[in-house]
Chains A and B, each alone.
Chain A
């Protein structure tokens, strides 16, 4: 499977615990995006990387959230001191900018439930 992959697919945690998600983009894709999707809503942008540089963060990304893409390949999203409001699907997407346009391809997501 050469698509975007995410791990784990499901995570149940207790409030206050830290969690970390991983995203492996499509090989050679230079941009990687994180989105959050709550039930019945469209995905909302969280942050994105161009290679290893984190270039933009949404206001949705509180200081409990941190993302890295250390070698410009896979990325991790960590949530510290989880809250029940963090329960959502966390989606990763990757793209290759060619010329003037890019297309984002999504991973299967990590569904987080905070009890």
Chain B
């Protein structure tokens, strides 16, 4: 089955700096890579996702890059703000089909943005 490793487990940055979180996956069949943000006591919320047919995707201050050959993908947050503080999870899944499309999550990164 799929295995997703996420680094670092904690990340502290100064407001305005950039933050980068990296994930590696093991199953070459994985084709979909979402990132979720989870604030304390709240549901995981999708912030950005990337599919295997593209190498990079950007949405305002957030970008995700994918290297299928190396089986790794990264989340980049620029101009960080205190409200970016949360736990971020990467995940991987195969292309959906009748056999299922369960997400395999990384262990999470606690991002702290200091004002």
Contact = CB atoms under 8 A, between A and B. Distances in A.
A68 to B, nearest CB: 17
A106 B102 contact: no
Contact of A103 (B42, B44, B49, B106): B49
B108 A106 contact: no
Interface stretch (A12-20, A69-77, A78-86, A94-102): A94-102
Interface of B: 4, 6, 32, 34, 36, 42-46, 49, 51, 89, 91, 95-96, 98-108
Contact of B34 (A48, A100, A103): A103
Nearest to B101: A102
Instruction: From B6, B42, B95, B101, name the one whose CB has the most chain A CB atoms within 10 angstroms.
Output: B101
B105 A43 contact: yes
B103 A55 contact: no
14 contacts: A35-B103, A42-B6, A55-B99, A56-B99, A56-B102, A91-B43, A100-B96, A101-B95, A102-B101, A103-B49, A104-B34, A105-B46, A106-B45, A108-B43
A22 interface: no
A42 B108 contact: yes
A73 to B, nearest CB: 20
Chain A contact residues (Cβ within 8 angstroms of B): what range? Answer: 20 to 34
B96 A91 contact: no
A44 interface: yes
Contact of A45 (B45, B49, B102): B102
Nearest to A43: B105
A18 B80 CA distance: 45
B43 A109 contact: yes
Given A41-B107, A55-B99, 16 more contacts: A42-B91, A42-B106, A42-B107, A43-B44, A43-B105, A44-B105, A45-B104, A48-B102, A58-B102, A97-B96, A97-B101, A100-B95, A101-B32, A101-B95, A107-B43, A108-B42
